[in-house]
Amino acid sequence: MLQGSNIFGHERPLVIRVSFATCVLVTVCLPLLGLITCVLISSVFHFEDATGTHCQVPNYLPSISASISLSPECHIWRFCIGLHSAPRLLVAFTYFKFYKTRFAAKFPENSLSCLNLAFSISENLGLLLLTYVSSSETYFVHKEGFVLFIISSLIYMSITCRLWKAIKKYSLSPEDAKSHHWKVRFLLLNVCFCAFAGFFYWKHNMYCESGSYTFFALFEYLVVFSNMAFHLTAVWDFKSREVMVVSSSEDKDF
């Protein structure tokens, strides 16, 4: 929503208001649509390159790393993540401020809120690293970025569930209870999908069995989708909040 007018020759500040729920939805949809687009393009136009394995066994799904390392897929993915990263940090600091206000004099929740912010930023950095350094360019750096993303996201989600358990305990809001309930569910799903993805990745590298890498790719998708679903619960947490940008014509400040 835009607000602004000219009254008696004096311009009022331009105010842009966007609901926080819309901001969260757009932030989550950017990597979701980017990933789906990259996987579809890879599967249709670059199937052989995207599904090839080091031991030449049949594989029917491209992994995420393979899908985002080809062209034009890598450019689509980098564009989506580039737009996604700034609002992601905005959400992280909004949560941090919310937790600090809620747990101002409580231990260990006050300390956990600081760790929560640190691992949220770490998760975002891991995502940026694996995005802008593809597996076809520098595999070791890409792999480390992926590991950083997975470990940081699991710790972040675990701490978030712990904080919302405390919030639910002293809250009468059904939205808070629903948010905690689904956060725990998505965390458990994410852990299970990570375990299955790790198992099939190990099985493929150890035995080069046909289909193992396909199952790894499938569970890798599910890891990412459950991660996105977890972050989407912020829609319930900040349902009544707004993101507001104010532009003043007098001093050109925002």
Number of domains in the chain: 1
Q: Quick check: is 12 in a domain? A: no
Residue in 38, 202, 227, 79 with CA at minimum distance from that of residue 150: 227
Q: Quick check: is 7 in a domain? A: no
Taking only the tens place, the pLDDT of each residue in 28-68 is 999 999 999 999 999 999 899 888 887 888 889 999 999 99
Residue in 186, 181, 178, 183 with CA at minimum distance from that of residue 223: 186
Over range 149-171, report the average pLDDT.
94
Tokens of 219: 């569970």
Q: Quick check: is 251 in a domain? A: no
Q: Quick check: is 8 in a domain? A: no
Interacting residues of 224 by C-beta distance below 8 A, sequence separation 6+: 31, 35, 64
Taking only the tens place, the pLDDT of each residue in 192-208 is 999 999 999 999 989 88
**pLDDT exceeds cutoff 70 at 252:** no
Tokens of 43: 């599967």
Q: Quick check: is 250 in a domain? A: no
Name the pTM for this structure: 0.88
Q: Quick check: is 252 in a domain? A: no
Tokens of 207: 């035995």
Q: Quick check: is 151 in a domain? A: yes
Q: Quick check: is 198 in a domain? A: yes
**pLDDT exceeds cutoff 90 at 134:** no
Taking only the tens place, the pLDDT of each residue in 65-79 is 999 998 999 999 999
- What's the pLDDT band for 97 if we cut at 50, 70, 90? very high
Residue 104 pLDDT: 82
Tell me the residue range of the domain where 80 lies. 17-241
CA–CA dist 234, 168 (Å, integer): 15
